[in-house]
Amino acid sequence: MSVSRRDFVERAALLAAAGFVPRPFPPAAAPAPRPAGFRGRPVVVASANGLRGVQVAYDRILAGEDPLDAVIAGVNIQELDPDDQSVGLGGLPNEEGVVQLDASCMHGPTKRAGAVASLEGIATPSLVAKAVMDYTDHVMLVGPGAGKFARAMGFKEQNLLTEKSRQDWMRWKARLNPNDFWLDHDDDLKIKFTTGTINMNAVTAAGDVASVTTTSGMAYKIPGRIGDSPIVGAGQYCDNLVGAAGSTGRGEANIKTCASFLAVEFMRQGLAPRDALLRTLERVVAMTEPRLLRPDGRPKFDLEFYAIAKDGRYAGATLYAGGRFAVCDERGARLEEAAHLFPR
Ligand code: ASP
């Protein structure tokens, strides 16, 4: 359908009268392909729990390691840390007390991706996701099939439920009451440990990009619940021409907006990482169902995004003020304040 200039101007006036003022949008411009050996700036960004990991990943990149191997080494630190209850060993279990892990990764230079979901008994789902990418013709394996594949690839099985996580699960079970209902979890959105994940993204001096996200998912989830982390385009996404993005927080909100893909697409259209992430958060808000909105129209949950552009620019952004994210570049590893849409 063609729209005359007059129609367009009249519609814009109507929208403005209704209080809708679109943000200015830069013209779409595909970034020029970089020549081989492009000397950009190596940078690693991650969720705040990746502070130790970004340094490890950055050092490996400087040593010439592949960016995906580097970020996976970075997130392995949290996966293997029994005190981090949001990922890998020690992650909080599902409602039956079983730790089920999700992860996905993407490798810009080879345009490949791998993922596992509802994986049990293997502490490093990020490495299993990479094995799916490296050794199969598939992108995603779930549940018992993922476990069987991991064992066949030589991953060692172990009990992932630490005593601390078992105690927390028991406490959660004890406070259940017969009237509880799965949708009825306003308070649960605020209780500690409902969420937690690590996402890490890197770019090398040659402009090669990689991303990985790994999690034990929403605590006390229904067995088999899969979050955003293992979904390519939601939990993380990377495109070697543009950059990478990833997420932590309420996965259900992220899946519906394909938000990491969207953030990379906004960067492709010319937005800086910070603006791309804020624009993505606006979409998340627009796609939030009414039961999850506060009386002021803002979401009851939080969601965090992290992004790097191929040229080394980076950002973190959250719905609510106060979020921080980890970054490592030539100035060393540190936490920085994330951009936000709303005050807390
Ligand atoms: N995004 C994860 C999930 O929904 C949880 C989190 O990051 O807090 O599974």
Nearest CA to ligand 1 atom 4: 251
Q: Find, among 71, 72, 77, the residue nearest to 90 by Cα.
A: 77
Position 21 scores a pLDDT of 47
Q: How many Å apart are CA 192 and CA 214, to the nearest integer?
A: 19
pLDDT confidence bin for 40, thresholds 50/70/90? confident
What pTM did the predictor assign?
0.87
Q: Which tokens in the block code for residue 94? A: 């599902």
Q: What pLDDT, on a 0 to 100 scale, did the predictor assign at position 145?
A: 98
Q: Which CATH number fits domain 38-342: 3.40.50.1820, 3.40.50.2000, 3.40.50.300, 3.60.20.30?
A: 3.60.20.30
Strand ranges, E, within the chain: 43-47, 101-107, 112-119, 140-142, 198-203, 209-215, 236-239, 243-249, 303-309, 314-320, 324-329, 332-337, 339-342
User: How many Å lie between the centroid of ligand 1 and the Cα of residue 161?
Assistant: 18
Instruction: Give the distance (Å) from ligand 1 centre to CA of residue 215.
Output: 7
CA of 241 to the centre of ligand 1 (A): 27
pLDDT of residue 259: 98
Using alpha carbons, list the distances in angstroms from residue 156 to 130, 162, 277.
Answer: 16, 17, 38
CB 283 within 8 A of CB 262: yes
Whether pLDDT at 158 is above 70:
yes
Residue from 102, 118, 195 to probe ligand 1 pocket by mutation (most atoms less than 8 Å from CB) = 195
Atom of ligand 1 nearest to the CA of 250: 4
pLDDT digits (tens, 9 = 90+) for 275-330: 999 999 999 999 999 999 999 999 999 999 999 999 999 999 999 999 999 999 99
Q: Which atom of ligand 1 is nearest to the CA of 102?
A: 9
Residue 53: is its pLDDT beyond 90?
yes
Element (H, E) at 31: none
Are 115 and 230 a contacting pair, CB within 8 Å? yes
Q: Are 283 and 306 in contact (CB under 8 A)?
A: no
Q: Which of 221, 250, 292, 302 to mutate to test the pocket of ligand 1 (most atoms within 8 A of CB)?
A: 250
pLDDT of residue 177: 64
CA 331 vs CA 58, 111, 131, 328, 335: distances in Å? 11, 30, 33, 7, 12
| H or E segment and range at residue 263 | helix 259-268
The mean pLDDT of 215-236, rounded to a whole number, is 96
From 124, 194, 195, 197, active-site residue: 197
Taking the centre of ligand 1 as the mean of its atom positions, its distance from the CA of residue 317, in whole angstroms, is 16
CA distance 210 to 57: 11
More confident site: 47 or 16? 47
- Ligand 1 centroid distance, CA of 166 (Å): 19
Q: pLDDT per residue over 121-140, tens digit each?
A: 999 999 999 999 999 999 99
Atom of ligand 1 nearest to the CA of 304: 7
Model confidence pLDDT, tens digit, residues 94-104: 999 999 999 99
The SS3 assignment for 327 reads strand
Q: Which two tokens stand for residue 258?
A: 């394909």
- 332 alpha carbon to ligand 1 midpoint, in Å? 27
Top mutation candidate among 84, 185, 197, 258 for ligand 1, by most atoms within 8 Å of CB = 197
- What is the reported pLDDT for 266? 98
CA 35 – ligand 1 centroid, Å: 37
> Which residue owns the Cα nearest ligand 1 atom 9?
217
Across residues 23-45, what is the average pLDDT?
A: 64
Q: CB under 6 Å to ligand 1: residues? A: 195-197, 215, 217-218, 227-229, 248-249, 251
User: Best of 118, 214, 248, 325 to mutate for ligand 1, by most ligand atoms within 8 A of CB?
Assistant: 248
Report the largest interatomic distance among the alpha carbons of the chain, rounded to a whole angstrom. Answer: 68
pLDDT given for residue 192 in this prediction: 47
Report the pLDDT averaged over residues 42-55: 97
Minimum-distance ligand 1 atom for the alpha carbon of 196? 8
DSSP secondary structure letter of residue 242: T
Name the least confident of 57-66, 180-189, 278-287.
Answer: 180-189
Dump pLDDT digits (tens) for 62-75.
Answer: 999 999 999 999 99
Residue extents of the structural domains in the chain: 38-342
Q: Is 214 a catalytic residue?
A: no
